[in-house]
Chains A and B, each alone.
Chain A
Amino acid sequence: MNPFAVLGLEPSFDVDLASIEKTHRELSRTLHPDRYVGAGAAERRMALGKAVEVNEAWRAVRDPVRRAEALFELANVPVGERVEPKPTTALLMDMMEQREALAEAKAARDMGRVNALARTIEERMAATERALSEGFRRGATAPLVQTLGELRFYRRFLDEVSAIEDEIAHGAA
């Protein structure tokens, strides 16, 4: 599936999310299963299939990791952690340290420290996204796969931060 085509877009890493969200909403209004409650089974299945496709496309386009993956796939560059080049030792060491710091902050229930660590990674994530955007614009697709790997590490770190936030917030009550 080409998620850009499903949403009527040209493939690009630079996207106007507010405008695409509106397109997604219009398509949902047309295709959502609630619009086909009275229809026949075949038509219901068809609408459901298309609604799923539109939602998958929207999810792919709005997430920088998946958006980059879609662009690589369109350029026939294989992606996925098994085929991508291994991360550099420097990145691995660095992420290990950050993770340890996060685990310590969590154990101390120090939300200030957790947030500070998250901000550092958010900034690096933003810089990595800028690098991807520039790379795709220059058409230097294949060498960018390494950058995508970096983005994955940051994403997972921030996922863990939000899980910790939930846990501390809910445990405090």
Chain B
Amino acid sequence: MALLEIFDPKAPPKPIGIDLGTTNSLVAFVQNERPQAIADCDQDFLVPSVVNYGPKGEVLVGRLAVARAALEPRDTIVSVKRFMGRGANDAETRRLGPYEFVPAKAGESNVVRFRVRGRELTPVEVSADILRALKRRAEDELTNIGGVVITVPAYFDDAQRQATKDAGRLAGLDVLRLLNEPTAAALAYGLEKKKNGLFCVYDLGGGTFDVTILLLEDGVFQVKSTGGDSALGGDDMDRLVAEEVLNVRGGSPTEIRAALDMARQMKHGLTDASEVVVEDTRLTRERFDALIQPLLDRTGIACRRALKDAGIKPEQLDGVILVGGSTRVPAVRAYVQKVFGKEPLADIDPEQVVAMGAAVQADLLAGDAQDDVLLLDVLPLSLGIEVGGGIVDKILPRNTTIPTGARATYTTQEDKQTGFEIHVVQGERELVQDCRSLARFTLKGIPPMAAGMAKLEVELKVDADGLLAVHAKELVTGIEQTVEVKPSYGLDDEAVEKMLLDALDHGEEDLLARRIAEERVEAHRIVAATKKALDTDAALLGDGERPKIEAAIRAAEDAAQGTEPHRMHSAIEALDLASKEFATRRMNRAIARAFEGRKVDDVATEVG
């Protein structure tokens, strides 16, 4: 018998996981230790990643937007994920759909801007609209949602990750972490419980194919290699059926659409039957399998390359996970089994598995039981600075564990040079022109000196989500200048703030209410953490420290009852300050224990 859930206004906020996909998106949460996706009232889990903008500023997301796509192609943004972190002037941007783009003005960030109904929209804003729809769905189900984990492809670069995080912020979500999609799939299967293993994630979606090799060692996940094809998926299967079986090779958009829909219907039918008949056209599974064989072979090439990059053979794999709706096709499963020599894991719905894994991670991050699993991510591409002659000085090599940072010093090349141009690039090649530009800025105001006298220190920092921050200072004069970095393909903080205000203008959000909610979440978080620390580590408290911290806790709790965000903010800072020394002592002990644990381990190995 199912237990009835009683509405509880004081229920703790529930962490959620979001799969922000190219074709479909969905949201999931963990209940009774089991992840589950959230459906709409029609029992539909998937929200098509399609957004339609109406003439009066109304925004439709999902199936309602899909219904308008054919009528209003320029006002309906499909597969916005492909545009995330891209440049407006990239050749590829133009190929991706029937949209009208706003050309980047000189001196402005080179970010893609769609012109839709007289408005300029960035991919970040369109993605935020999808996230808002998912947020509403989660709120309908859970009332009060907490921290959010959003998944991104393992190969996403800094600009694409930053864009995803900005979209979350814009949608009013408390983004705890970005999580790599393949790692999420592994978490959904509970593979972290095995502690050790090598896994392959084969992800064939509607329009993209990704393959990833994951290493799990002592409960720590690492991405060993990734590969794939950004223009390969289930849509190609539909097109082949439309062209070869239905003989539709052109015609009006409506005719093509109808043929593709019919092809898809046939494909779905063949998942459980060996033959289908739709509108008097017959298709056997045998014929279908032969048609899609070239597509499968293309995935095979990418799989073998990913194995080679990771330096492993198929027989070393402990498991293969299927992700993406197209892996329901029996021929795909058979092919995967052939390539890797083992039966793939497929008991979790391949379209829900990534969101479910994100929910597991959100639950782990929000909860107390964090001791078993840790996701250690690495930089997917090297980061460097342009030096003389268009050469890249590689500062952080790829596969460096993050979070991380590095500094490098440079000097002036000309007498009386008063500005430094700093250009940060991403990529493996030696020449700047072969790498991708991430950020470019000028450090100004250096007093004139002889060439080679000024010393500029550039610091790159990458956080646990793989997001980059750049700082520069001139060492000789001691002038520490804060430099605003304008990302080459992204949005700066100012632009994101402006979008938040624009959303306000559109009557979508109440900014004050949001600030209050954000500060309140933070206050509750810190109060709970500090109380727990006082309980478990009382022995580390100094003389008179407890009453001081407890007073600060009460002040923060008081402030959180109120409605003044500034007061909450100062109370949080005061509590932070009051417990700082205590926190330092706790951290030092934790480090000492990590070393000790290691030594105990060594002894055990030697004895054993």
Binding site for B on A (CB under 8 A): 8, 19, 22-35, 37-43, 46-48, 50-52, 55-56, 58-59, 63, 80, 82, 156, 159-160, 162-163, 166, 169, 173
Q: Which of A32, A40, A58, A59 has the most CB of B within 10 A?
A: A40
B403 interface neighbour in A23, A27, A38, A48, Cβ under 8 Å: A48
Using known A-B contacts A19-B602, A34-B374, A40-B575, determine if residue A173 contacts B404 with beta carbons closer than 8 Å: no
Using known A-B contacts A33-B464, A156-B430, determine if residue A59 contacts B595 with beta carbons closer than 8 Å: no
Using known A-B contacts A43-B587, A50-B591, determine if residue A160 contacts B430 with beta carbons closer than 8 Å: yes
Using known A-B contacts A25-B218, A39-B529, A50-B587, determine if residue A30 contacts B580 with beta carbons closer than 8 Å: no
**B79-87, B119-127, B394-402: which one contacts chain A?**
B394-402
Q: Is the CB of B298 within 8 A of A39?
A: no
Using known A-B contacts A39-B529, A173-B301, determine if residue A32 contacts B405 with beta carbons closer than 8 Å: no
State the CA gap A160–B176 with chains docked (Å).
Answer: 37
Q: Is the interface of A mostly helix, strand, loop or mixed?
A: helix
Residues of A within 8 A of B580 (CB): 42-43
B183 is an interface residue with CB less than 8 A from chain A: no
Q: Which of A27, A28, A52, A166 has the most CB of B within 10 A?
A: A52
Using known A-B contacts A27-B594, A166-B428, determine if residue A40 contacts B530 with beta carbons closer than 8 Å: yes
Q: Is the CB of A31 within 8 A of B576?
A: no
State the CA gap A28–B374 with chains docked (Å).
Answer: 9
Residues of B within 8 A of A33 (CB): 403, 463-464
Residues of B within 8 A of A43 (CB): 529, 576, 579-580, 583, 587
A32 interface neighbour in B400, B464, B591, Cβ under 8 Å: B464
With both beta carbons as reference points, the residue of chain B lying nearest to A29 in the complex is identified as: B374
State the CA gap A8–B580 with chains docked (Å).
Answer: 25
B370 interface neighbour in A35, A47, A63, Cβ under 8 Å: A35
A3 to chain B, nearest CB (A): 12
B464 to chain A, nearest CB (A): 4
Residues of B within 8 A of A169 (CB): 305
B551 to chain A, nearest CB (A): 16
Q: Is the CB of B406 within 8 A of A159?
A: no
Q: Is the CB of B405 within 8 A of A41?
A: no
A-B contact sample (16 more), CB < 8 A, given A31-B590, A156-B430: A23-B594, A23-B595, A26-B598, A27-B591, A27-B594, A30-B591, A30-B593, A34-B375, A39-B525, A39-B529, A40-B526, A40-B572, A41-B576, A52-B403, A55-B403, A56-B404
